[in-house]
Chains A and B, each alone.
Chain A
Amino acid sequence: MTNPNQKNVADASQTVSGHRGLSFEEAIIFEIDTPGSSAVDLPEPEHDRDRLGGLRRRGGVGLPGLSEPDVVRHYTRLSQKNYSIDSGFYPLGSCTMKHNPRLNEKMARLPGLADIHPFQPASTAQGAYRLMDTLAHWLKELTGLPAIALSPAAGAHGELCGLMCIRAALQASGDARSVVLVPESAHGTNPATAAICGYAVESIPGNGNGRVDLNALKERLGPDVAAVMITNPNTCGLFETEAKEIADAVHTAGAYFYMDGANFNAIVGRVTLAELGVDAMHINLHKTFSTPHGGGGPGAGPTVLSEALAAFAPVPFVVHGPRGLAMAEHAGQGEAQHSFGRMKGFQGQFGVFVRAVAYMMSFGKDGLRQVSGDAVLNANYLRVRLSEELTASYDGICMHEALFDDRFLKDTGITTLDFAKAMIDEGFHPPTMYFPLVVHGALLMEPTETESKATLDQFCESVLALARKAKRGDAVDDFKNAPVLTPRRRLDETQAARKPVLRWKPVPMPQAAE
């Protein structure tokens, strides 16, 4: 869809090649195919005796051929079309985009940690077991809970782990409950997880100052409620000050308290979950413990468990045996007698564990306390400075993220989306937009502890200037057209969904005779 008011910026820098200086156009690999080329020189197979039983693949696969220089250039050019934490400020709320130390990458590539197989005999993998045991120790210490399941592959997977433990514990006591309560401000994964664990989901309202309404919760608790899932600090960036009262009420009602640990970065080293009455919480190693997001994973979601849930943890887990460390791999047997089953192939996200351990050892218990301190300091600094022009949704101190809504854009004709896109032209990744759903036109900003004051000041000055420009009312089109300085301008998402094109297809050729 073309906006009639847009300035045609592309025209201004039209080139013959389509490239624009350092901004390269790059075709799809299938369009730069040189048939027969390969970037890998392989020897001929030693012989051609086959035991395929007639199942040899006929016809080609259809993959393109490229030389190594072509491949390196292709991906280098594509990489340059990405925003990243290495290149700029990424205040994406609830995503904890912090610096990823390269030491962690180097450690994950040590041959003794990378080139090891999940089914090596235990006697040849004691270091791997010990690393997993070390990670478990750190996470149990930092949360104050006695048990942990390391294998969940990401946050949502960890949520499922926690709920499956809760369900197993309830079943073991003959208690069939059918409902999970989730605050209206929750991440979408919470209700989705509860549903695939077979629970009906009910929403709990907020109390007007951004927290769970304790009275509404108490009113709804009853013999049909299995668990309550609460993110703390919550998705408004606020600490649930009544967390302990919530836990007590939940436990009194015979239910379990699941805490979503997506925002653990705000409180690491400053409070234990034991103190908050938590029964289970997943920890996103790719957030709090700085393993890279990789454009959408891999993550890891180890889940800490209270005494009441420990026996139901999924396999595999490390156990201390007479011949050193061993792995409990079979639910229903030995130490895993009450385990609810297996969630993941092999031994979990081991490569992610290595990175997290390197990160934790680097910071130590003293440094991790400084991590949460600086993360919260940075968020409050943004909250106060930006409140000069933006509208913060809640008064008072926030935790690791600051929530704004779109009241400051009232009557400007400019939306949260337009404002976020204008931030891109200023060289910043936009905050999380339109989430949480409990405020209108949300902008959720999480700076993390790895940003300097100078970066925050530059960001604040740019955003304040944009806000003033928006309020002036004479530059609506600039916002509507933004971004203009990017490899692509706004993309037509409606067209993408209406007529999905999910893969490249060859241009049809005239049928050749067989």
Chain B
Amino acid sequence: MRYLPLTEADRGAMLSTIGVDSVDALFSELPTGDLSFDLPDHQGELEVEQALTAFARENISCADAPSFLGAGNYRHHTPASLDYLIQRGEFLTAYTPYQPEISQGTLQTIFEFQTQVALMTDMEVANASMYDGATGCAEAAAMACRVTKRNKILVSGGVHAHYRDVTQTQLKHIGLTIECLAPDPIGIEDLIGRIDDDLACVVVQNPGFFGHLVDLSPLAEECHSHGVLLVVCVAEPVSLGLVTAPGTMGADIVVGEGQSLAGPASFGGPGVGLFATREKFIRQMPGRLCGETTDEDGRRGFVLTLSTREQHIRREKATSNICTNSGLIALAFSIHVTLLGEAGFTKLAAINHANAVTLAERVGVLAGVKVVPQNFFNEFAVTLPKPAADVVDELAVKGILAGVPASRFYPQYEELSNVLLVAATEMTTEACVDALVAGLKKVL
């Protein structure tokens, strides 16, 4: 067995040192029972590769079809050096940096990541990562309740359905009231009118799930005049290169999904949760934080800090139960942002927007098709003259991944059945758009 270094001779020598007769004797305290597993025996590397390749072949890769899929998970190009760097064994096969003297590499990259996230969202501080955007959203709402000492949460209908569902699920047993507004494809919900002094926070998403870009400043102002925190979700961090940042508009907590800048969709996971807030709230933050300090020789170094918030110290009084988070994906996110730099990041965002505007112009003129949001970044909802799920299935047969039907998230809302989400990124070529337009003409 290629991954096991011990030889039979080693095992024999070690058993005699220990003073037992067999490896099985080490397990004599375990109950005996049926161990006839319906599983195959070991296989060589070649056979495993063939088996996994067979799984892969049953899928249509987004590389092989024009793809307009988004809904919180976006396909971007990643530079070759990114995937090389995250596969360096010193990053890939290290544990959480509990021994800072031999973990300065991981720690400094976390410090840089925290800084990048804070700058991109225009917030003061960020943590070392959450599992994903959806769990980050739940943690943000819980944190807002701790900060305000209130227990009511209001979730906009423009928030990703998964973020909403995870928030409802995760917080349902700790005495909080969560009001979730109906999905809002047209962008007409009134949040400002619902703000009152009992509310801990309002959770919104920008750009919204249906694509709308909204100036959140008036909402932030109303929130703050009632002591309410504004939680803003960002499902597409590339938007931060072109769109006014949540922090600039008055957000108190910003959470996001970093996948789109970190690497391939990988069927939706692992992603990385971004979590940023105001400095005055740091002691209520969930998750790990890396801080700067000095070593015994007075040199700058980094450590995990403020761990009295965390489960391994605080146990049942911790701000969250999170331990393992999404370190390597945070590193991938950070490396990509470093590779892009200011010039690349803002240009990437501009390209995404330009391609989305082109897409809207091309599909918006098709008979019976209407682009819903007036303002958007790289994704928007369209209404079709027939059910969007049918259109998606018909175009999938033609080798086009046409987008995500809103009914996938809201099967119970009849009025959303004709709504389709389409996204364009720098990967969306003119040929892709031509294919979609031709396909839509055929099936509509």
Contacts and interface: CB of A to CB of B under 8 A. Distances in A.
B393 A121 contact: yes
B102 A64 contact: no
B101 A491 contact: yes
Interface string B302-339: 11011110111111111011111111110100010111
Contacts of B124: 503
A126 B59 contact: yes
Contacts of A116: 59-62, 265-267
Nearest to B162: A345
Given A45-B351, A83-B103, 11 more contacts: A37-B341, A38-B339, A53-B215, A55-B243, A76-B88, A84-B90, A120-B62, A141-B39, A294-B94, A501-B293, A502-B305
Contacts of A295: 91, 94-97, 103, 106, 109, 327-328, 331
B403 to A, nearest CB: 9
A52 B242 contact: yes
Contacts, number: 723
B296 A1 contact: yes
A192 B314 contact: yes
Contacts of B340: 38-40, 63
B155 interface: no
Contacts of A488: 100-101, 104, 295, 299, 301
Interface stretch (A251-259, A361-369, A408-416, A468-476): A361-369
28 contacts: A47-B357, A48-B354, A83-B90, A84-B92, A109-B83, A114-B266, A119-B408, A123-B396, A137-B38, A153-B135, A164-B169, A188-B311, A194-B316, A196-B320, A198-B173, A198-B175, A243-B31, A275-B34, A293-B324, A351-B270, A352-B269, A363-B3, A367-B42, A371-B4, A381-B17, A450-B4, A452-B10, A491-B303
A346 B72 contact: yes
**For A101, A103, A244, A346, which residue has the most chain B Cβ atoms within 10 angstroms?**
A346
Contacts of B160: 345
Contact of B288 (A52, A296, A362, A497): A296
Interface string B64-87: 110101011101000101011101
B169 A84 contact: no
Interface stretch (A213-221, A302-310, A335-343): A335-343
Given A42-B351, A297-B327, A496-B293, A83 B99 contact: yes
B5 A452 contact: yes
A497 B28 CA distance: 47
Interface in A159-179: 159-160, 164, 167
B165 A497 contact: no
Nearest to B10: A453
A313 interface: no
B52 A358 contact: yes
A346 B295 CA distance: 42
Nearest to A141: B37
A90 interface: yes
Interface stretch (B112-120, B220-228, B435-443): B112-120
B373 to A, nearest CB: 8
A189 B310 CA distance: 9
A508 interface: no
Contact of B294 (A8, A115, A492): A492
B101 A128 contact: no
| Chain A: number of interface residues, binned into ranges | 35 or more
B20 A397 contact: yes
B151 interface: no
A210 interface: no
Contacts of B133: 345
Nearest to B97: A295
Given A64-B341, A384-B18, A504 B112 contact: yes
| Chain B: number of interface residues, binned into ranges | 35 or more
B169 A429 contact: no
Contacts of A504: 111-112, 115
Contact of B244 (A49, A55, A141, A502): A55
B92 A344 contact: no
B204 to A, nearest CB: 14
Given A117-B267, A295-B96, A198 B174 contact: yes
B375 A55 contact: yes
B58 A61 contact: no
Interface string B143-167: 0000000000000000010110110
**For B64, B317, B323, B377, which residue has the most chain A Cβ atoms within 10 angstroms?**
B323
Contact of B132 (A85, A114, A155, A344): A344
Contacts of A128: 55, 58-59, 267
B41 interface: yes
Interface string A250-293: 00000000000000000101111011100000001010000011
Nearest to A482: B101
Nearest to A123: B396
Interface string A347-387: 11111101001101111111100111110111011001100
Contacts of A144: 34
A356 to B, nearest CB: 11
B393 A111 contact: no
Q: Which 8 A-B pairs have the closest CB atoms?
A: A346-B268, A112-B56, A294-B328, A127-B58, A86-B89, A118-B268, A198-B173, A296-B327
